[in-house]
Amino acid sequence: MTFELKKLPYDPTTLNPVVSPKTFEFHHGKHLQAYVNNLNNLKTGTKFENMDLISIIKESEGPIFNNAAQIFNHEFYFDQFAPSPKSKPEGALAAAIDAAFGSFDNFKKEFSAAAVSVFGSGWAWLVVNAAGTLEITKESNAGTPLTKNQKPLLTFDVWEHAYYIDFQNRRPDHVAALWDVIDWKVIESRF
Ligand code: MN
């Protein structure tokens, strides 16, 4: 199968100024498109040629893993935004966040600290871990919870390409602003 660039579920001009149209043009239109093109080229003629994306991620390593995992991570990342988002979780997810982190505000504080402190390029994640409880994790490069028996719920991309056009070196300011466009209706649906 040939993978294609997944369309954004919103108009990329509507998240400005948290994520500008220019950032979408490069992050979605260039970086994610490059991972898609790279994977299609790399898997040709290999045992991964007709495999679905999740199976490739779980069974590959090296360049094929890196590009496949980055496709999953970015689709998951872009899908969680909305121009008029639900601003906080309710129900079972809200209860699980309170149980694990004390409060929603404290969860955001701990998650932001994790995202800001990823060294170099990587991702911060909220996952359901193997024990069934919520956990904040950090991954380097193309790291993904899919290879660790964890169910991902939320992720912040802290590669510089995610924020450098809009925030330059100010990763903490980007992380603080990103909460304004996270749609908790999407995160609840993943729980
Ligand atoms: Mn990225």
pLDDT for 1? 82
Q: Ligand 1 center to residue 46 CA distance, Å?
A: 26
Q: Ligand 1 center to residue 161 CA distance, Å?
A: 6
Kindly state the percentage of the chain with pLDDT values over 70. 100
What are φ and ψ of residue 11, in 5° steps? -75, 120
- Average pLDDT over all residues of the chain: 98
Q: Ligand 1 center to residue 99 CA distance, Å?
A: 30
Q: Mean pLDDT throughout 94-119?
A: 98
Domains and CATH numbers, the chain: 20-79 (1.10.287.990), 91-190 (3.55.40.20)
Q: Distance of CA 120 to CAs 5, 112, 117, 145, Å?
A: 26, 15, 9, 18
